[in-house]
Amino acid sequence: MTSPLPTFIQRFFSHYLPLQRGLSSHSVWAYRDAIKLLLRFAAETLRKSVEALGVEDLSEHTVLAFLDHLEVVRLCSARTRNARLAAIRSLFAFIAREDPSWLPQSQKVRSIPLKRTEHNTAHYLHEKQIQELLDAPDLTSAAGLRDRALLLLLYNTGARVSEIVGLKLADLRLDGAGQVQLRGKGNKYRSCPLWPETVRALRAYLAQRLPKDPADQSLFLNARRLPIGRFGIRHLLSRYSSQTSAPASQPPVTPHTIRHTTAMHLLRAGNDIAMVSYWLGHADINTTHAYLEIDMDLKRRMLEKMDGPHARKKPAWHRPDILEWLEDLKSGPNYVQANRPKTASRAKVAP
């Protein structure tokens, strides 16, 4: 049985993912990369062209071999392997729904288990470290004004880097009580208030913002006056974090490090975890609970609010006399005979 695999893939990416599931463009690109790698691997392994591949060629055996290839040859981590598998599972679920005749093969592929991964503790910055990072940009230059506004907005909102990259001028409100509207995962919108310091930094940046295309409404621009990307923001954070007093053993500072920092500082300020979850745009509050696991100061304050147990002091244990007596039984081989009670001798009977 052959199948129009390209037709399935085109509908999967053009209609199902963006329209039915409402995934962001970044999520769609991640799925695209996974399927591209699978198609190339299958074509090389089966010695076919990509155009000649059918659904039957993407068997459970081929998918398992592809996952091994990711880890052994491409040296991908288990997390990356699981992310690729999730994209493949989603594709086969779509194919089975479009054509139920592929349901048996879909079930086999979708039953491939995810690998267990280590739970990495979230890294965040302490108050002194984040202040050093915010003070690093040179405010006498246009790039420094942009970077200061960008760093403050990241820390103020705890936004994902994709949310910052996607910001438009219309998403800002700087008159009165400043606020920004963020578009998160699944095209869900949330609004965050802004500190007066963030508003002032944004106004200073906007006063000298000069896009290459006057019609460009992207909030942050790169050195070429084009919309800044995720890797550009990561590069800025890497450069400025190297100017702080952070120890060399500390993990690199990324946009998600700033997000973790915002979450931790909000929790340590005494905010309810449900409100912090809403602030960060978490779909599941259990995601926010992970931050409670890494703050020992917060745990210590929680413990101090609870009275400790008042346990009674037990007397020191001593060995009972009977045990001492039993222990003495092994002191010598004739102990039992020596301590046997004496009996009267029998009287002699006359013959």
Per-residue model confidence as pLDDT tens digits over 248-274: 778 899 999 999 999 889 988 888 888
**251 shares its domain with 276:** yes
**Arithmetic mean of pLDDT over the chain:** 87
Q: Which of 49, 84, 110 is the last residue of a domain?
A: 110
Q: Express each pLDDT in 308-320 by its tens digit.
A: 566 566 666 666 6
Residue 4 binned pLDDT confidence (cut-offs 50, 70, 90): confident
DSSP string, 40-70: HHHHHHHT--GGG--GGGS-HHHHHHHHHHH
**94 shares its domain with 17:** yes
CB 146 within 8 A of CB 221: yes
Give the other-Cβ count within 10 Å of 155's Cβ. Answer: 21
Identify the residue whose tokens are 């679920």.
Answer: 93
With b meaning 16 or more CB within 10 Å and e meaning fewer, what string describes 318-339? eeeeeeeeeeeeeeeeeeeeee
Residue 351 binned pLDDT confidence (cut-offs 50, 70, 90): very low
Pairwise CA distance, residues 70 & 90, whole Å: 18
Q: pLDDT at position 343, please?
A: 52
Q: Which of 49, 76, 110 is the last residue of a domain?
A: 110
**Positions marked catalytic:** 160, 185, 256, 259, 282, 291
Identify whether 330 is part of a domain: no
**282 shares its domain with 199:** yes
Closest among 219, 222, 218 to 236, alpha carbons compared = 222
Q: Which of 58, 78, 110 is the last residue of a domain?
A: 110
Counting Cα atoms < 13 Å in the Cβ hemisphere of 155 gives: 26
H or E element that contains 263: helix 255-268
From edge to edge, which strands make up the β-sheet containing 172-173? 172-173, 179-183, 189-193
**216 shares its domain with 254:** yes
Domain range enclosing 163: 127-301
With b meaning 16 or more CB within 10 Å and e meaning fewer, what string describes 193-209? ebeeebbbbbebbeeeb
**96 shares its domain with 142:** no
**102 shares its domain with 139:** no
Q: pLDDT at position 284, please?
A: 72
Q: pLDDT at position 350, please?
A: 47
Residue 295 binned pLDDT confidence (cut-offs 50, 70, 90): low
Determine the longest span between alpha carbons in the chain, in angstroms. 144
What is the amino acid identity at position 292? L
CATH number at residue 191: 1.10.443.10
**51 shares its domain with 156:** no
**284 shares its domain with 145:** yes
Q: pLDDT at position 121, please?
A: 66
Residue 82, pLDDT above cutoff 90: yes
Task: Tell me the two tokens of residue 251.
Answer: 């993990």
Residue 349 binned pLDDT confidence (cut-offs 50, 70, 90): very low
**67 shares its domain with 181:** no
**66 shares its domain with 131:** no
Q: Express each pLDDT in 38-63 by its tens digit.
A: 999 999 999 999 999 999 999 999 99
**106 shares its domain with 138:** no
Identify whether 349 is part of a domain: no
Identify whether 278 is part of a domain: yes
Q: Which comes out higher in pLDDT, residue 302 or 224?
A: 224
Residue 186, pLDDT above cutoff 80: no
**207 shares its domain with 269:** yes
Pairwise CA distance, residues 351 & 121, whole Å: 101
Q: Which comes out higher in pLDDT, residue 291 or 232?
A: 232
Q: Which comes out higher in pLDDT, residue 306 or 344?
A: 306
Percent of the chain exceeding pLDDT 70 equals: 82
Total count of domains within the chain: 2
